[in-house]
Chains A and B, each alone.
Chain A
Amino acid sequence: MAEIFVLAEHRQGQLRDITFEMLTKARELAEKTNAELTTVLLGKNVKESAKNLTEYAKKVIVVEDEKLGSFNSDAYLKVLSTLIKEHKPALTIIGHTSYGVELAPRLAAAIGIPLATDCIDVAFEGDALAVTRQMYGGKVNAKAILRKSESYMVTLRQAAFQAQKPTAPMNGQILEVPSPLTEEITTKRFIEYVLPPPGGVDITAAEVLVGIGRGIKDQANLPLVEELAKSLGGVLACSRPIVDKGWLPSDRQVGTSGKTVKPKLYVALGISGAFQHVLGMKNSDLIIAVNKDPKAPIFSFSDYGVVEDLFKVVPPLKNKINELKSQKA
């Protein structure tokens, strides 16, 4: 019976959301192809997580080793290539996360199996594997076929699939496998986690956020949007380029590499809506987006859209809100 591998991702004792998203998609694939769903958990003292995973897979392969105490792609690579060579899974699924991005391409090349990264959909078509992935910053979708192989590998985009529990727990069997790591990993060594310096503002606690992106053009324009945020009783948040440019501190960044927010109101100004940003704000109660490009992806995630230069809309908007507030006061 064919097998599908899902690499469980965890950090600091916590299984990460992507693990359950992958398991959900993998379960669907396993049902369709009559394959067995196996999740692979590498780490140190991960018994608790392993037990948790039995609900989601038929088999939980656990490899425990001191050397797997924190993520090390070289250690992971050695263990996984041993497991994959032995089990020959039809498909190995890894998260398209910082860990997965570091591990999967090198692992696939080392074993010699084809890989498709950052997939938003995966399907077997006979013995071929078809994937859907995005190109050009999400403006185009591509359907691609992987080179014929007995074993495939994919990385799945975060939040592309909604995690769901199986209708009934799968009562998976835990299979403890001795670590194949005989020697110390000397190529790279984990030192520590680094938290961004705490800033003055916690955007995850704000009820109103005004998010700015590339469309803001210049640091000199920040006061304008800052005033709007103030009028609305909110604070400024931003997409990645603004932090890259050093215009706002990194604790204002919304998205996969920043914070996930869920305010009552999110006003997106000059944000195109790359998935990395959208993932961090799409669950806001009300989203209003202003962008010059009518085809900007942000409009697919917004309740209201304005196709206009933000610098034309923001001043009258700010004035009207202030007028209203002064009338009430």
Chain B
Amino acid sequence: MPSKDGEIKMDFKLTEEQMEIKRAAREFAEKEFTPELALEYDQREEFPTELYRKAAKLGFTSMRIPQQYDGQGYGVLEECIVVEEFCRVDPGLGVAVSLGNLMVPDVLLKHGTDEQKEKYIPPLARGEKIAAAAFTEPEHGSDITRMDSTAVKNGDEWIINGSKQFITNAPIADTFIILCQTDPNATPPHRGQSLFLAEKGMPGLEATKLHGKMGIKPCVTGSLAMSDLHVSAKNLVGELNKGFYYALELFDGTRITVAAQAVGMAQGAFEKALNYAKTRKQFGQPVFNFQAVSFKLAEMAIKIETARLLTYKAAWTYDREKPNAVATSMAKAYASRVAMEVTDDAIQIFGGYGYLADYHVERFHRCAKITEIYEGTSEIQKLTIANFLAK
């Protein structure tokens, strides 16, 4: 779809249904993610379990899960609309709540057995359980083509050993998928990786919470240690040695929602700055009257609008046609940069106050940074685009 000769299919109007989803998500977030709660969770670095359950009960966290598994049966675009609205109100709570059942339902829907789907997806869709996807390792961040974690077949079981790092939800998750090297001799090595399901409480599976993240603090992160973790052969997801491909596939969708997080964060900070510029008086007039400020806001608005269009286009393509890695990477790389720039500008407009936690924009800036890093850094996104251009 993104093409070198400028082909584009235009239909910029959200449907009435999508507008209703947007309104509902906004209303929920505005009433629930109060600035004070946001500040509190930003300091406590704790997952807002109650809030997650509440959002899940209303369907906000299972947009892409089919109704058959207690989800909502919508597409990536509808999910992006919710994520954007949540992050617009608060980036920390917004990310945490929208990532509660991260990736596990997606991968099971595509490759899981009926038994796995029925067992694991509905409780995640309903918000009763929390999921974590363990790909990254201490030695393998953006490059997951080789895993140090191993799974060795032993009768009806697999025995997993190794460790994972920077795993979203690891300390609180009930359901895990873990990417392991199952064929150490495969060449290239990524052809020898497989995905396994594991559950909290299994002997040999231990999570440790990570502290001191720069942003998205209510979204807890941790490391995972597997030492002689026994899982049943039934816990293998899909085919043996296909794990790497499954993981990559996931990113096509989740990366678009990261772009939506970035758009929401930028929008939220922008609105705060705009409001401040119109009410804050210096030299006898609102600072908005100074072009140095109003032009900055104009630029911010242009960037956000562009980022949103790229994001919605990637989502629309994913839903209507097929996942497109280039469209996805463009949206993520651009939107995350915009989030950094716009939240930075917002602080600047607030001046000294912007540097204070109480005025909330600095939190948006801290949170925005993650969107350039997780689910593939911006460099990885550019690599994807460059590879496409090279063809």
Task: Tell me, yes or no, whether A and B come into direct contact in the complex with CB atoms closer than 8 A.
Answer: yes
On A, residues with C-beta under 8 Å from B are 217-218, 220-221, 309, 311-312
CB nearest to B353 among chain A residues = A312
**Are A311 and B34 in contact (CB-based, < 8 A)?**
no
Nearest A residue (CB) for B358:
A312
Evaluate contact between A218 and B34: CB separation under 8 angstroms: yes
Q: How far is the CA of A311 from the CA of B35 in the complex (A)?
A: 10
Across-interface contacts of A220 in B (CB, < 8 A): 34, 36-37, 40
Contact indicator B358/A218 (Cβ below 8 Å)? no
Of residues 34 through 54 on chain B, the ones whose CB sits less than 8 Å from some CB of chain A are: 34-37, 40
With both chains docked as a complex, state the minimum distance between the C-beta of B353 and any C-beta of chain A, in angstroms: 9
Q: How far is the CA of A221 from the CA of B34 in the complex (A)?
A: 10
**In the complex, per-residue mask of B12-35: 1 if CB is within 8 Å of any chain A CB, else 0:** 000000000000000000000011
Whether A221 and B358, one on each chain, are in contact in the complex, defined by CB atoms closer than 8 angstroms, is no
B54 to chain A, nearest CB (A): 14
Find chain B residues with CB under 8 A from A312 CB: 358
B358-391 vs A, Cβ < 8 Å mask (1 yes, 0 no) = 1000000000000000000000000000000000
Judge whether A217 and B358 touch: CB under 8 Å.
Answer: no
Residue numbers in B under 8 Å from A221 (CB-CB) = 36
Shortest distance between the CB of A24 and any CB in chain B (Å): 41
Interface size class of B (residues with CB under 8 A): under 10
> Complex: how many Å from CA A221 to CA B36?
8
16 A/B residue pairs, CB under 8 Å, sorted by A: A217-B34, A217-B35, A217-B36, A218-B34, A218-B36, A218-B37, A220-B34, A220-B36, A220-B37, A220-B40, A221-B36, A309-B358, A311-B35, A311-B36, A311-B358, A312-B358
A293: nearest chain-B partner, CB-CB: B279
- How distant is the Cα of A217 from the Cα of B34 in the complex, in angstroms? 7
**Which residues of chain A are within 8 angstroms of B35 by Cβ–Cβ distance?**
217, 311
Nearest chain A CB to B272 CB, angstrom units: 12
Task: Known pairs A217-B34, A217-B35, A220-B36; list 13 more (Cβ under 8 Å).
Answer: A217-B36, A218-B34, A218-B36, A218-B37, A220-B34, A220-B37, A220-B40, A221-B36, A309-B358, A311-B35, A311-B36, A311-B358, A312-B358
Q: Which residue of B lies closest to A217 (CB)?
A: B34
Cα of A289 to Cα of B150 in the assembled complex, Å: 65
User: Which positions in B face A, CB cutoff 8 Å?
Assistant: 34-37, 40, 358
Chain A residues positioned under 8 Å from B40 (CB to CB)? 220
- Bound-state Cα–Cα, A311 to B39, Å: 12
| CB nearest neighbor in A for B356 | A312
**Residues of A contacting B36 in the complex (Cβ-Cβ under 8 angstroms):** 217-218, 220-221, 311
**Please, which residue of chain A has its CB at the minimum distance from the CB of B35?**
A217
Nearest chain B residue, comparing its CB with the CB of A315:
B358
Please indicate the chain A residues that have their CB under 8 angstroms from the CB of B34 in the complex. Answer: 217-218, 220
Q: How far is the CA of A220 from the CA of B34 in the complex (A)?
A: 10
Report the bound CA distance from A218 to B32 in whole Å.
Answer: 9
CA gap between A220 and B35 in the complex, in Å:
11
Inter-chain CA distance A217–B358, complex, in Å, is 15
CB-CB under 8 A from B358, the residues of chain A are: 309, 311-312
CA distance A309 to B34 in the complex (A): 14
CA distance A101 to B192 in the complex (A): 77
Interfacial chain A residues near B37, Cβ < 8 Å: 218, 220
Question: How far apart are B102's CB and chain A's nearest CB, in angstroms?
Answer: 27
Q: How far is the CA of A41 from the CA of B139 in the complex (A)?
A: 89
9 nearest A-B pairs in the assembled complex, by CB-CB distance: A218-B34, A217-B34, A218-B36, A221-B36, A220-B36, A312-B358, A218-B37, A217-B36, A220-B37
A217–B40 alpha-carbon span in the complex (Å): 14
Once the chains are docked, how many angstroms separate the CA of A27 from the CA of B358? Answer: 55
A219 to chain B, nearest CB (A): 10
Complex contacts, A309 vs chain B, CB 8 Å: 358
Smallest Cβ distance from A247 to chain B, in angstroms?
13
Report chain B residues within 8 Å CB of A218. 34, 36-37
A218 to B41, CA, bound (A): 14
In angstroms, Cα B38 to Cα A218, docked, is 11
Bound CA span A220–B33, Å:
12
Taken together as a complex, chains A and B put the C-alpha atoms of A309 and B36 apart, in Å, by 12
A48, chain B: closest CB distance, angstroms = 51
Expressed in whole angstroms, the Cα–Cα distance for A148 and B197 within the complex equals: 78
Residues of B within 8 A of A217 (CB): 34-36
A246 to chain B minimum Cβ distance, whole angstroms, is: 14
**From A294, which residue of chain B is reached at the shortest CB distance?**
B279
Q: Nearest Cβ in chain A — how far from B279, in angstroms?
A: 8
A220–B37 alpha-carbon span in the complex (Å): 8
With A and B bound together, what is the CA distance between A312 and B359 in angstroms? 9
- Within the complex, what minimum Cβ distance (angstroms) separates A244 from chain B? 14
> How far apart sit A309 and B350, CA to CA, in the bound complex (Å)?
15
CB distance from A220 to the nearest CB of B (A): 6
CA distance A220 to B358 in the complex (A): 16
| Bound form: Cα–Cα A130–B358 in Å | 49
Task: Report Cα–Cα, A318/B358, bound state, in Å.
Answer: 17
Q: Please name the residue on chain B nearest to A221 by beta carbon.
A: B36
The answer for the CA separation of A177 and B276 in the assembled complex, in Å, is 65
**In the assembled complex, how far is the CB of residue B90 from the closest CB belonging to chain A, in whole angstroms?**
13
Contacts of A311 in B (CB 8 A): 35-36, 358
Within the complex, what minimum Cβ distance (angstroms) separates A103 from chain B?
Answer: 36
| Distance from A23 Cβ to chain B, minimum over Cβ atoms (Å) | 45
A293 CA / B35 CA spacing, docked (Å): 17
Docked CA distance A239–B334 (Å)? 46
B27 to chain A, nearest CB (A): 15
A221 to B38, CA, bound (A): 12
Q: Across the interface, name the chain B residue whose C-beta is closest to A219.
A: B34
CA distance A217 to B35 in the complex (A): 9
A218 closest partner in B (C-beta): B34
Q: How far is the CA of A292 from the CA of B34 in the complex (A)?
A: 16
Inter-chain CA distance A312–B40, complex, in Å, is 15
Minimum CB–CB distance from A19 to chain B (whole Å) comes to 41
Question: How distant is A314 from chain B, measured CB to nearest CB, in Å?
Answer: 12
A218 to B51, CA, bound (A): 14
A310 to chain B, nearest CB (A): 11
Cα distance A311–B356 in the bound complex, in angstroms: 13
A309 to chain B: closest residue by CB: B358
A220→B44 CA distance, assembly (Å): 15
Alpha-carbon gap, A309 to B39, bound state (A): 15
Nearest chain B CB to A290 CB, angstrom units: 15
State A155–B310 Cα separation when bound (angstroms): 57
Chain A: minimal CB distance from B319 (Å): 36
In the bound assembly, the distance between CA atoms of A218 and B358 in angstroms comes to 16
